Amino acid sequence: MTQTIHNRAAAAGLRMTAPRRVIARVLDAADDHPDAEALHARAAAIDPRISLATVYRTVKLFEEQGILEKHAFGDGRARYEAADGGHHDHLIDMATGQVIEFVDPEIEALQEKIARRLGYRLIGHRLELFGERIED
Amino acid sequence: MTQTIHNRAAAAGLRMTAPRRVIARVLDAADDHPDAEALHARAAAIDPRISLATVYRTVKLFEEQGILEKHAFGDGRARYEAADGGHHDHLIDMATGQVIEFVDPEIEALQEKIARRLGYRLIGHRLELFGERIED
DNA sequence: ATAGCTGCAAACCTTTTGCAACCAA
DNA sequence: TTGGTTGCAAAAGGTTTGCAGCTAT
């Protein structure tokens, strides 16, 4: 982890109130891609007074600061992860739902090329692979 | 268009009732990626008795038959397009929201390779590029 | 005192579903 | 007659918001 969510949020000028500190801490501790409800459950385990509404408001705030990334893996709800500066894509295990992160410079370059060919400057992208584990 | 939605639905054994025929016709005529509400509006323009619920039930049916593809472009609602058998990805114009389709064999192959490297067999993927038009 | 933050509950939006009527086989 | 289909309205699931109270400056 380059830097904690908490530090980056504070550096961005956000008032780090008690609920926000708890939520930041939960996000820092997460090595998965929790949804709002999961974040709320984990935060409420630390301080039960924290509401789901505050979780939603806080993740939106962090997202606006570029501290957090919001993903929509097609299951209806949004899932979150710390933005590590470096970009990466996702491979989703179709059997378990587990999300694996990867980076591939070659595919990044190829996307730029495709966009340019279509007359566009590439601003962002979303790539998700769906696969099943190869047993050997 | 290889074959109409209507024909493929009938071939799949679906009872092509009047509402389903209208919805199929709307889908065949669409060259964009309409959401459920847009489909309903277009269908209702042909037969005002068609309900939104029927649109949802029908697109789900078509999707289950592999006749229709459901996309989630991150704007909260699902958007639909005829499955043309051949696969393609999307580039979304960030200024206009316009969706451009493309195919790139090189990127397809690269994805297979990445999945394999991670120990997975690639079942499917989703690739969306977000860009802005280059004015010259 | 003031501006911003919070919890609660209500509202919102998209999608799904229970139900009674309806239609085709 | 029987099972699938439809419209309507209600419900569901995820997310946002109005409001009154609270907290930190």
Give the confidence band of B97 by pLDDT, cuts at 50, 70, 90.
confident
Interface test with A, best of B102, B126, B135, B136 (most A CBs within 10 A): B126
d(CA B63, CA B39): 15
Find the Å distance, CA of residue B55 to C1' of nucleotide C19.
19
Which nucleotides of strand C are protein-proximal, with an atom < 7 A from a CB?
A: 4-10, 13-18, 24
Asked if residue A1 has pLDDT above 60, the reply is: no
Q: Which residue has the tokens 């114009």?
A: B93
Q: Where are the beta strands (DSSP E) in chain A?
A: 68-71, 79-82, 89-93, 99-102, 120-133
Architecture per CATH, domain B5-82, reads as Orthogonal Bundle (1.10)
Asked if residue A84 has pLDDT above 90, the reply is: no
Q: Does A106 touch chain B (CB under 8 A)?
A: yes
User: Do A130 and B122 lie within an 8 Å CB cutoff?
Assistant: yes
Rg from Cα positions in chain A: 17
Whether the CB-CB separation of A81 and A58 falls below 8 Å is answered with no
Domain locations along chain A: 5-82, 89-131
Q: Does B12 touch chain A (CB under 8 A)?
A: no
Does domain A89-131 correspond to CATH entry 3.40.50.300? Answer: no
CA B33 to each of CA A12, B79, B87, B130: distance values in angstroms, whole numbers, following the listed order? 38, 6, 15, 16
Residue-by-residue DSSP string for B104-125: -HHHHHHHHHHHHHTTEEEEEE
Determine the average pLDDT of the residues in B103-124: 89
Give the confidence band of A123 by pLDDT, cuts at 50, 70, 90.
confident
A129 vs B contacts (CB less than 8 Å): 111, 114-115, 120, 122, 124-125
> Average pLDDT over chain B, rounded to whole?
89
Task: Report which of A2, A123, A126, A16 is spatially closest to residue A61, judged by C-alpha positions.
Answer: A16
d(CA B41, CA B55): 10
Q: Which residue has the tokens 């595919």?
A: A107
Whether the CB-CB separation of A90 and A100 falls below 8 Å is answered with yes
Residues 6+ apart with CB under 8 A from B48: none
Is A6 annotated in a binding site? The answer is no
Determine the average pLDDT of the residues in A19-47: 94
d(CA A72, CA B72): 8
Give the confidence band of B29 by pLDDT, cuts at 50, 70, 90.
very high
pLDDT of residue A85: 66
Determine the average pLDDT of the residues in B114-133: 90
- For residues A115 and A124, the model is more confident at A115
pLDDT of residue A75: 77
Interface A-B, measured as beta-carbon pairs within 8 A, has a size of 107
Find the Å distance, CA of residue B40 to C1' of nucleotide D3.
26
Nearest nt (C1') to B52 (CA)?
D7
d(CA B45, CA B42): 5
pLDDT of residue A25: 95
pLDDT of residue B7: 87
pLDDT of residue B73: 73
Give the confidence band of A54 by pLDDT, cuts at 50, 70, 90.
very high
pLDDT of residue B85: 67
Report if pTM > 0.85. Answer: no
pLDDT of residue A2: 60
Q: Does B107 touch chain A (CB under 8 A)?
A: yes
How far is C-alpha B59 from the geometric centre of its chain's CA atoms? 10
- For residues A133 and A95, the model is more confident at A133
Q: Which residues of B46-64 are buried (b: 16+ CB within 10 A; e: fewer)?
A: eeeebeeebbeebbebbee
Q: Which of B94, B118, B127 sits opposite A123 (nearest CB)?
A: B94
- For residues A58 and A88, the model is more confident at A58
Give the confidence band of B96 by pLDDT, cuts at 50, 70, 90.
confident
Determine the average pLDDT of the residues in B98-122: 89
CA B3 to each of CA B6, B10, B30, B84: distance values in angstroms, whole numbers, following the listed order? 8, 12, 14, 8
Whether the CB-CB separation of A73 and A130 falls below 8 Å is answered with no
Determine the average pLDDT of the residues in B70-94: 84
Which nucleotides of strand D are protein-proximal, with an atom < 7 A from a CB?
A: 4-10, 13-18, 24
Asked if residue A135 has pLDDT above 80, the reply is: no
Give the confidence band of A50 by pLDDT, cuts at 50, 70, 90.
very high
Give the confidence band of B58 by pLDDT, cuts at 50, 70, 90.
very high
- pLDDT per position as a tens digit, A14-32: 899 999 999 999 999 998 8
CA distance B122 to chain A (A): 4
